[in-house]
Chains A and B, each alone.
Chain A
Amino acid sequence: MNLNATFISGRTVNQGCNLENKTSQAYFDAAAYCEMNSKDASSLGIESGNNVKVTTDHGSVVVPMAICDGNPDGLVFIPMGPWANAVVDPDTKGCGMPGYKGISAVVEPTDEKAPTMPELMARLK
């Protein structure tokens, strides 16, 4: 079972607290998760903490799922950071700003492990 979703990224307090602490487990915990509402989570048959794979036209990333019932159906959120950026749209549409919000994504349950920050960056060099 997959979820067709709209992806956004954004700030959180804990992501902010660890902006200068990005090699830590605390940063991983603060930035490597994907929020969706309980209804979407149960449609995927998963619980908070289970890993999901988020795939867009621009890439894919595995992160744990977290529940946020403030999200409307089909809206998924990953805090800003390298995990979110694995799937965002680099095209600036001619204005300098990449597409960090409003990206079509497919979310699926997975047994794959979420990459650490250095593992994510190693993919890019």
Chain B
Amino acid sequence: MIIKDVLCPFCGCLCDDLTVEVEDNKVIDVQHACKIGTSKIKGHDRIKAPMMRDDKNGEFREVSYDEAINESAKILANSKRPLLYGWASGVCEMMKKGVLLNEEVGGIIDNTASVCHGPSALGVQEKGLPTGTLGQFANRADLVVFWGCNPVQAHPRHMSRYSVFNKGFFAGKGRKSRKIVVFDVRKTDTAEMADEYVQVNPGEDYMVMSALRAIIADKADVVPDSVGGVPKEKLVELGEALKGAKFGIVYFGMGLTQSRGKYKNIDNAVSLITELNAHGKHSIIPMRGHYNVTGFGQVCAWETGFVNAVDMSRGIPYYNPGETCSNDLLMREEIDSAMVIAGDAGAHFPAQSIARMGKVPVIQVDPFHNPTTEMANIVIPTKVSGVELEGTAYRMDSVSLRMRKIVDVDFPSDEEVLDKIIAKVREIKGASS
């Protein structure tokens, strides 16, 4: 059976033009996807059944779903400061249940944005976000800037679908209609394809943006001979190119959010774009990683008022990144249990944070064995959303799309597992109050 218009559940591009061939309920071919999307949809060895162990260094024993779910509920209900982390590789329907579970247990719910574009949210809260949709950028942009991001490696079809090679209504010649500029600390594969590569010293992007802002405001005289490793003449040239664009778009990534300045880099980038809007039309957008990390921000915001790091221990939502983000909580040793679902803290948190997770009970809800499994006491395998389960996801530009189910499996969905945990937590909490 050939299934057309399948959406890819890997990165924030949410490519929606895949063709998947299924035979006997197995994916045998994936067309139009990038190498990563193909790998994801074809699938990998998965966890076969729920497992538990008391000692994190001991062997897991297979258990029933009921036993794993009841034990998870007991741990969460009896914890004073549970952390519910992950939520990016699932559909919005499960995220809603996650927010509810967090309310029931008075814990902290945090998603992978915490180690990705969390600082972007802070920057946006400071300055707003002059943005648009990938469709607008695809059709209109004549100047495309990639700042601290490397789509060739991280979002492989971005450049052909949305930003560089695609033809657009006002960019009829595709690649030739656009000037491509890459700011990065090293010459990435994306930089190799650009018209201009601007090598910035590590941690000095903020200064380069400030210099560009000065140049755009006709104050080039205050700019020193070199800023952040970039010669002044080059900065003046770039400032003119930015000012001269009809429609400029800045795509940015971890090169800004994870390096020195963090959210302040985003704050400054947004100011740069706002000021450029006095000259042409300019937009800026974060390159979101997981296919539905944007969706978690949406769901969490409409349920609690905040996009991540929401602490419900007071009975009302409290958000203070730097205090309520996962790594801060772990490093302060506040957490007394953790549930890691649809994300892999074990692989993507600093080792010192994970070592704190090594001291408390950890529940993992995930289809795959990964470094979090190594740290877990309870493992509950679920469906792969977007392959084995349909549901809603938000593309990196916050456009909501419906993920499709391609094959059937017997595993429960994340939502079903969460529903059962919530019911059990209510039972335990009800009995004790």
Listed in ascending order, the chain A residues whose CB lies under 8 Å from chain B are 6, 8, 10-13, 16-24, 58-59, 68-72, 75, 77, 80-82, 85-102, 117-118, 120-125
User: Which residues of A have CB within 8 Å of B352?
Assistant: 58-59, 90
Contact A123 B350 (CB under 8 A): no
Q: For the A-B complex with A16-B154, A20-B370 known, give 7 more contacts whose Cβ atoms are closer than 8 Å.
A: A10-B254, A21-B368, A85-B348, A89-B350, A92-B325, A95-B262, A100-B254
Contact B321 A95 (CB under 8 A): yes
Contact B255 A101 (CB under 8 A): yes
Within the complex, which residue of A59, A87, A94, A121 is in contact with B374, where a contact is CB–CB below 8 Å? A121
Cα distance A52–B325 in the bound complex, in angstroms:
33
15 A-B residue pairings within 8 Å (CB atoms) = A10-B153, A11-B289, A19-B36, A21-B368, A22-B370, A24-B44, A71-B186, A85-B347, A95-B118, A98-B353, A100-B258, A101-B259, A117-B371, A117-B374, A125-B355
Listed in ascending order, the chain B residues whose CB lies under 8 Å from chain A are 10-11, 34-36, 39-40, 43-45, 56-57, 114-115, 118-119, 122, 150, 152-154, 156, 185-189, 191-192, 199, 202-203, 254-255, 257-260, 262-263, 289, 309, 321-322, 324-328, 330-331, 344, 346-355, 357-359, 367-371, 374-375
Which residue of chain A has its CB nearest to the CB of B43? A20
User: Which residues of B have CB within 8 Å of A123?
Assistant: 351
User: Which residues of A have CB within 8 Å of B45?
Assistant: 21, 23-24
Contact B369 A22 (CB under 8 A): yes
Which residue of chain A has its CB nearest to the CB of B156? A13
Cα distance A71–B188 in the bound complex, in angstroms:
8
Cα distance A39–B352 in the bound complex, in angstroms:
32
Instruction: Write the nearest CB–CB distance from A56 to chain B, whole angstroms.
Output: 10
Contact A11 B40 (CB under 8 A): no
Q: A85-B348, A85-B351 are in contact. Are A8 and B331 (CB under 8 A)?
A: no
Contact B258 A58 (CB under 8 A): no
Contact A20 B348 (CB under 8 A): no
Which residue of chain B has its CB nearest to the CB of A77? B186
Instruction: Write the nearest CB–CB distance from A3 to chain B, whole angstroms.
Output: 15
Cα distance A68–B352 in the bound complex, in angstroms:
28
Q: A82-B371, A85-B354, A101-B254 are in contact. Are A22 and B344 (CB under 8 A)?
A: yes
Cα distance A22–B47 in the bound complex, in angstroms:
12
Which residue of chain A has its CB nearest to the CB of B260? A102
Contact B115 A98 (CB under 8 A): yes
Cα distance A94–B203 in the bound complex, in angstroms:
17
Most A Cβ at <10 Å: residue of B57, B259, B321, B351: B351
Instruction: Write the nearest CB–CB distance from A38 to chain B, whole angstroms.
Output: 13
Instruction: Write the nearest CB–CB distance from A105 to chain B, whole angstroms.
Output: 11
Contact B367 A95 (CB under 8 A): no
Cα distance A8–B203 in the bound complex, in angstroms:
11
Within the complex, which residue of B156, B262, B321, B358 is in contact with A125, where a contact is CB–CB below 8 Å? B358
Instruction: Write the nearest CB–CB distance from A52 to chain B, whole angstroms.
Output: 18
Cα distance A120–B44 in the bound complex, in angstroms:
22
Contact A70 B154 (CB under 8 A): no
Within the complex, which residue of B44, B309, B375 is in contact with A20, where a contact is CB–CB below 8 Å? B44
User: Which residues of A have CB within 8 Å of B257?
Assistant: 97
Q: A20-B40, A97-B114, A121-B371 are in contact. Are A11 and B154 (CB under 8 A)?
A: yes
